[in-house]
Structure 1
Amino acid sequence: MQLFQTFAHQAAASLENANLFEKATRRLQHIQALRTIDMAITGSIDPRLTIHIGLEQTMKELNIDAAAVFRLNSYFQKLEYMAGQGFYTNMIEKIFLDVEKSFAGRAILERKTFYIPDIEKVNENISKDFFRLEGFKSYYVVPLIAKGRILGVLEVFLRNQRNVTDEWQEFLEILAGQIAIAMDNAELFHNLQQSNLELLKAYDETIEALSYALDLRDKETEGHSRRVTELTISIAKEMGIPEEKLIHIKRGALLHDIGKLGIPDSILLKPGKLSDEEWVIMKMHPVYAYQMLSQIEYLHPALDIPYCHHEKWDGSGYPRGLKEKEIPLAARIFAIVDVFDALSNDRPYRKAWQIEKVLEYIREQSGKHFDPQIVDVFIHFVEEKFISK
């Protein structure tokens, strides 16, 4: 009898140990699933990828048949499909859930999980055709809440009815919390991107307004900044300069004469020829441009044109006497465009030159004032655009 009791105790202990091992293994798997989702949240800015991983882990760890995330459109008070897995058809993608007339809406309004153990016994407003088509028998819906805000719902579908434990539901709600965090992060990132775009737009509009104001100050060059900017960008594209660098070239071209704000009107607007002393002051305007713009960090990549557009290929330019490829590429392009625009437009002291005459002058200055390679590209472009028509 004692021997039998000993065996019984050992069997009970073994069974208990097996249960504990099973629970420990399950908890470890749950932790790993949460870790996988957490890594997706921190390592990706794509909400679709993160939510896909969240749904994948939900289906795997809870052994469910299908799951979907619906995002709350608070303006229309509707829940809109965002992502899903495990469905036979795409019918789920076309469903819109009314917050006031759906179980998902009740989960949002009451901020708690709802469970329908048997869809066929439900008399309320629910898409039974969808459930029958997919073969679903029971259904869970969990509100997705992050930082106190309702973002949507996680819906879980089962094709076979089953008894689920409190632990199962608790982990479902934990997974829903992770998905909510992913959605919240994605929304924050989107809003940050939008704010940055709006800020950059405001910066560029300010630059364009300042460029226009500079042109107004000097009536002789009205419209000059806009024209040279457009043509500089066109030549830069012809030369294969990457798209991401064109915005800096555009800003630099618009601000190429900003240093003239430091030049007295008596010199800048003087109708006659400048004296040697006045020319020394006038030649400071690229330096003034550098001193002004270098204080603005986001304009650092745009400094090449305002600072260097009066440098010459043979080293005879100013303010630093740079030569050949010491001169930044953007400034070498702009130097040709600047002279072309000046000569091909009327000034009070002379009429505009014919384009052919301007191009002849630019050819003469190839290897002196201008980079010969850019001269070839420029002349070909202008002949195609202005002469061949």
Structure 2
Amino acid sequence: MTARLDQQFAFLNTADRLKQVDRANVLMNNTRPENSAEHSWHLALWALVMPLPQGVDRDRVIAMLLVHDLVEIDTGDHPIDLPHDLDALHRDEARAAKRLFGLLPGDLAAPLLALWQEFEANQTPDAQAAKRLDYSQPMFQVLHGQPPRPDHLDVVRMNLTKGRAAPLAQDWPAIHARATALAAGKPAPDAPDLAARLAFLAEADRLKSVLRATTLVDGSRCENSGEHSWHLAVYALVLADQADKAVNIQRVIRMLLIHDLVEIDVGDVPIHSANGAAHASADTQAAEAAAADRIFGLLPADTGPALRALWAEFEASETPDAIFAKSLDRVQPVMANLMSGGGTWITYAVTYDQLQSRVGQKVARGAPGLWLWVQAQLRPFFAVSA
């Protein structure tokens, strides 16, 4: 099991680099470029809340979108409005996919590589649904900008008329008509259900600006809660075998995609900070519940209440799915601190006993074998004995 976890974390720590691949798109508040990890999280959220064609497996689409851009760790992003040698790019991406997924044990590498290849081939209904979302999200990233950038609006207009989004006029006419109207500065067609889902997704963009105390694995900057949520969902894809009890890993992934959305209103409270006790305070819980009511309340009635209940299940941490999701939520920052040379443990002078009580107990509750492996990695840093 030790060698297997070594491989799983070699992949997960490498995946962290996707948070440093900038895209041509910018955040909706225009403060900086969006990165490919944030984009992947936002796309998975689109897949979670948008209507999909009959027969499409929503959870497979989510999984595709979580991993679809990992190859950009090696190849970078390629904006659609610039010329590219597509044959060379496809070769480079295929090579990157084999390298990156090849870091995993074979029984995980093969299905994830196949999932990525299915997305790229764009032949199955699941892949086609994922591609439609991948073509749509960047446009609305622009159209919901505050305000939209004129040069980016030009790209959207080109994309809608003769680019990869043009087929949406037949494949997803409601989204194409709405994007076309907004890009032309005209009122959007009357479609309350679609408007509500897009309003929720636009609000979710703000999570990309909520900074956490934890840094990227290279220590170069603080991680934000959007890319943290993406990374956790990938953790669930890769570490499902570590759950202490039988779990529905698709539900775990859904939980992790939405678990931090309340931080849009409440912010992040580092568990090792002087204010760390606020995590469990009545005031924080009330504020988070109010944020959940507001944010999930943006969605239509057939979607919002179910996601609000899923968030509440995660917070209560009583079901096997929620307990395992909490374990992953606690272990990911540990790995970031280990890889960055201490991170928040140094910032907040954390002791091994504090780490055990604040983090270890929660990880071990849902994934005891995982915590045993992590403890072995911690010993050199904290100089504790076996």
Same fold flag (TM > 0.5)? no
Give the helix-richer structure, 1 or 2. Answer: 2
TM-score (norm 1): 0.31
Higher-Rg structure is 1
Bigger RCO of structures 1 and 2 (CA < 8 A, at least 6 apart): 2
Give the strand-richer structure, 1 or 2. Answer: 1
